[in-house]
Every structure is written in structure tokens, then in C-alpha cells.
């Protein structure tokens, strides 16, 4: 399956462009007001006391700014930052090597922390609490554990699935930030800022149009802005207005709610072929020519979050909003009776 324009995950070629657009301080960071206020207090307290900040866990869906906040923390504390991820640490020894090379007050950003192996997790418990690790030398009865003291550091963990973290690890974080999806006006401000940095001339109506189709996710908003810029460049549009933004997004098959081709195919199959359901997930996947896992993991979450589709005990059903979005009338007597996760 080709890379989706509205995927919240970072693409292979987006790291450099994303890094260039990232805000450098909390005052530049748009949205997440409560999280910003909480982190600001934590940072000011740490700086006043002259100690490293408490370990922090950033939790939320992809593309909401967890990595950006980690870089901002390092900038605000004037501390170096080390970046790694759960999947990259295959053995506890890998983590021990990283921890032992940290400097005083350094920030260790651990992305996808929920994917750490169990031995690495257990090593992290001691490192977070007592700032030491026990390095085991040898094997069998002759093995000995050598305690290794670590400098004071701040662990910033990022996860899209906080429920997968074991309670002992979750409890060792001094602060947990829950990232929420962004409002359209917040995304508009992010797009305006990105447009200035990219030297794109765009009016307010076009900005709002892109924001409304960005699924509440800054990463998608910036990606759509770049695609609209490409369209304007090719079509020789000097200043992007509402009409050119709409034309570009329609060409890329991103509709008014941010649904792309796959999302609409799933919704249309549910509404048109199965009269709104209920229908089993595997049957729905066959109808759109995709793998069951693709429909469940890629298309379904946003359709459910948008209220266009629901999961019931008997299968997937289209909601009245789903029918309306495709220009169809919902069947009489529709209800979500017996609606439980399937």
C-alpha cells in the first residue's frame, strides 16, 4: 500500500522538513495549552532548584508534537538531548551503553517506549529511580553484577499506546502529558507559521480549508500545505487562495473531513453495498480489496473517531453522519443498540 497523504505517521522524507518547521520554545508551540502550562511549571521549578527535571511521559496519537516537545525541553533547559526508540534497543546491554554515556542533566528521548523489551524495561526501572544500572558480567553461577552509577538525567518517553506500558514503568514518570487532537483554529495558526517559514503566500480562507481537512493533526496539516504549495507552483499560482487550495486537495483526493481514497472506499462499501451494515471486518476488507489489518488499523480509527462508522457486537455499521457525508439518507429506525466493541 502506498504512503497516505493523511497518515499521521512521519514519512521517510519528512524528517528534515519537519525539523525545520518545529517551534523552538514553549511560547512558539501552538495548542496543547494545558500540557504547555504544566511543562512550563515543571521546567521553571527545575531551573530554580538547579536540578534535572523529573522524568516525563508524553502520550498521544502520532503527529501531535511529542518529539517537538522533547526538543523544546532540551532547548528550555539548555541541555543536550540523546534520541533513540524502543524498537532500536534490542538488548538490555544496548540501553546500558546509552545510559552510561549520558552527561549530567542530559535529556534522553525514548520514542515508542511501549516497544521496549522486558529486560530493557527492568534495567530502566533502576536507572530512573536510583540513577544506576547493574551490569552483569559472566554467565551462570559465576556471573556477578557490577553497579554502575549514572549522572542525573531526564528521561522523556513518548508513546502512542500508554496502556501497553507496564505499571512499574509508568509509575516512575514524575509527569505524564496527555496530548489531544488540535482544533481547526489552532491548526490554522500552525499552517500560517509554517507558510511564513516556507515563504508561501496563502490567504486565511485557504489556511482554514487545509486546517479543516487535517484530522486535528499538525503533521498532516504541514504535509497538506506542502502539497498545496507544489500544486500552486506547477499551476503558476502566485498567492494560494481558497479555490486553488480546494483544487489541490481534491486532486489529492482529500475530502472536506480529511478522508482519503481508502477511507471513502470503506465508507462507501459500508453504505452502498451493505446498506449501512452491520458487516464483518473481513467481508468489508474484501469489498474494498484491502487486507483486514489495513482496514482495521489504517481506515477504521479515523472513521470511528469522526462518527462516520461504529463498531458493534454484530459488526461495523455506518452512522447517520456517514450516510449524510456520502449524500445518502440513513435507513429508518437506525440505532446503536447493542453497540459494544467487536
Last residue within a domain, chosen from 178, 210, 228: 178
Q: Are residues 159 and 207 in the same domain?
A: no
pLDDT band of 4, cuts 50, 70, 90: low
- Cell numbers found for residue 260: 482519503
* Residue 249 predicted with pLDDT over 50: yes
pLDDT at 335 exceeding the cut of 60: no
Q: What percent of the chain has pLDDT over 70?
A: 90
**Selected catalytic residue, list 4, 22, 66, 264:** 66
Q: Are residues 199 and 169 in the same domain?
A: no
Told to judge if 219 belongs to the known catalytic residues of this protein, a careful annotator would answer: yes
Where does the pLDDT of residue 140 fall: very low under 50, low under 70, confident under 90, or very high at 90 and above? low
**Angle CA 287–257–229, to nearest 5:** 110
Domain co-membership, 286 together with 153 = no
Q: What was the pLDDT predicted at 278?
A: 86
- Work out the pLDDT band at 15, boundaries 50, 70, 90: low
pLDDT at site 188: 92
| pLDDT of the residue at 10 | 58
Q: Are 270 and 236 members of one domain?
A: no
Verify that 219 and 307 share a domain, yes or no. Answer: no
| 311: pLDDT strictly greater than 90 | no
Mean of pLDDT values over 329-342: 55
Q: Is residue 202 part of a domain?
A: yes
Asked if 133 and 50 sit in the same domain, the reply is yes
Task: With a cut of 60, say whether residue 1 has pLDDT above it.
Answer: no
CATH code of the domain containing 304: 1.10.10.10
Q: Which of 93-97, 157-161, 289-293 has the highest mean pLDDT?
A: 157-161
Contact 103, 80 (CB under 8 A): yes
* Residue-level pLDDT at 5: 67
For the chain, how many structural domains are there in total?
Answer: 3
278 in any annotated domain: yes
What is the pLDDT averaged over residues 317-321? 86
Residue 312 a catalytic site member = no
Q: Is 160 a catalytic residue?
A: yes
Q: Which of 205-209, 311-315, 331-335 has the lowest mean pLDDT?
A: 331-335
Q: Are residues 41 and 164 in the same domain?
A: yes
Per-residue model confidence (pLDDT) at position 341: 43
Residues 53, 163 within the same domain: yes
Catalytic residue, from 170, 219, 223, 316: name it. 219
**Residue 293: its pLDDT value, please?**
84
Q: How long a stretch of residues is the chain?
A: 342
Q: Mark whether 283 is an active-site residue.
A: no
**Confidence at residue 6, expressed as pLDDT on a 0 to 100 scale:** 66
pLDDT tens-digit series, residues 197-238: 888 888 888 899 999 888 888 999 999 998 988 888 888 888
What is the pLDDT at residue 17? 63
The verdict on 101 and 157 lying in the same domain is yes
Note whether residue 109 is domain-resident.
yes
Mean residue pLDDT of the chain comes to 83
The whole-number average pLDDT for the span 138-166 is: 81
- The active-site residue out of 68, 154, 159, 160 is 160
Place of cell 520554545: 25
- Same structural domain, 93 and 170: yes
Q: Could you say which of 4, 22, 67, 170 is catalytic? A: 67
Q: Decide if 242 contacts 206 (C-beta within 8 A).
A: yes
Which member of 111, 217, 260, 316 is catalytic?
A: 111
- Which pLDDT does position 54 carry in this prediction? 86
Examine the domain organization and report whether 247 and 267 are in the same domain: no
Structural domain range at position 283? 261-325
Residues β-bridged to residue 144 = 137
Amino acid at each position: 500500500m502506498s504512503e497516505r497523504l493523511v497518515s499521521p505517521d512521519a514519512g521517510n522524507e519528512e524528517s528534515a522538513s519537519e525539523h525545520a518547521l518545529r517551534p523552538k520554545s514553549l511560547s512558539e508551540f501552538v495548542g496543547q495549552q494545558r500540557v504547555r502550562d504544566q511543562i512550563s511549571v515543571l521546567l521553571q521549578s527545575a531551573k530554580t532548584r538547579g536540578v534535572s527535571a523529573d522524568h516525563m511521559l508524553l502520550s498521544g496519537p502520532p503527529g501531535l508534537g511529542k518529539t517537538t516537545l522533547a526538543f523544546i525541553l532540551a532547548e528550555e533547559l539548555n541541555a543536550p538531548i540523546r534520541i533513540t526508540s524502543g524498537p532500536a534497543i534490542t538488548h538490555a546491554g544496548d540501553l546500558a551503553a546509552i545510559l552510561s554515556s549520558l552527561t549530567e542533566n542530559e535529556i534522553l528521548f525514548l520514542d515508542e517506549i511501549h516497544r521496549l523489551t522486558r529486560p530493557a524495561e527492568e534495567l530502566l526501572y533502576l536507572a530512573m529511580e536510583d540513577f544506576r544500572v547493574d551490569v552483569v558480567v559472566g554467565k551462570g553461577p559465576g556471573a556477578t553484577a557490577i553497579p554502575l552509577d549514572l549522572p542525573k538525567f531526564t528521561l522523556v518517553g513518548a508513546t502512542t499506546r500508554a496502556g501497553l506500558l507496564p505499571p512499574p514503568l509508568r509509575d516512575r514518570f514524575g509527569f505524564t502529558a496527555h496530548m489531544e487532537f488540535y482544533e481547526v483554529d489552532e491548526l490554522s495558526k500552525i499552517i500560517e507559521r509554517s507558510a511564513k517559514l516556507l515563504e508561501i503566500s496563502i490567504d486565511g480562507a485557504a489556511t482554514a480549508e487545509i486546517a479543516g481537512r487535517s484530522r486535528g493533526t499538525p503533521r498532516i496539516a504541514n504535509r497538506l500545505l506542502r502539497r498545496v504549495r507544489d500544486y500552486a507552483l506547477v499551476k503558476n499560482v502566485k498567492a494560494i487562495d481558497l479555490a486553488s487550495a480546494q483544487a489541490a486537495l481534491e486532486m489529492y483526493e482529500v475530502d472536506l473531513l480529511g478522508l482519503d481514497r481508502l477511507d471513502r472506499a470503506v465508507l462507501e462499501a459500508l453504505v452502498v453495498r451493505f446498506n449501512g451494515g452491520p458487516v464483518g471486518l473481513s467481508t468489508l476488507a474484501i469489498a474494498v480489496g484491502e487486507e483486514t489489518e489495513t482496514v482495521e488499523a489504517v481506515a477504521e480509527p479515523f472513521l470511528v473517531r469522526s462518527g462516520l462508522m461504529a463498531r458493534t457486537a454484530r459488526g461495523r455499521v455506518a452512522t447517520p453522519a456517514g450516510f449524510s457525508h456520502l449524500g445518502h439518507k440513513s435507513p429508518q429506525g437506525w440505532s446503536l443498540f447493542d453497540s459494544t466493541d467487536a
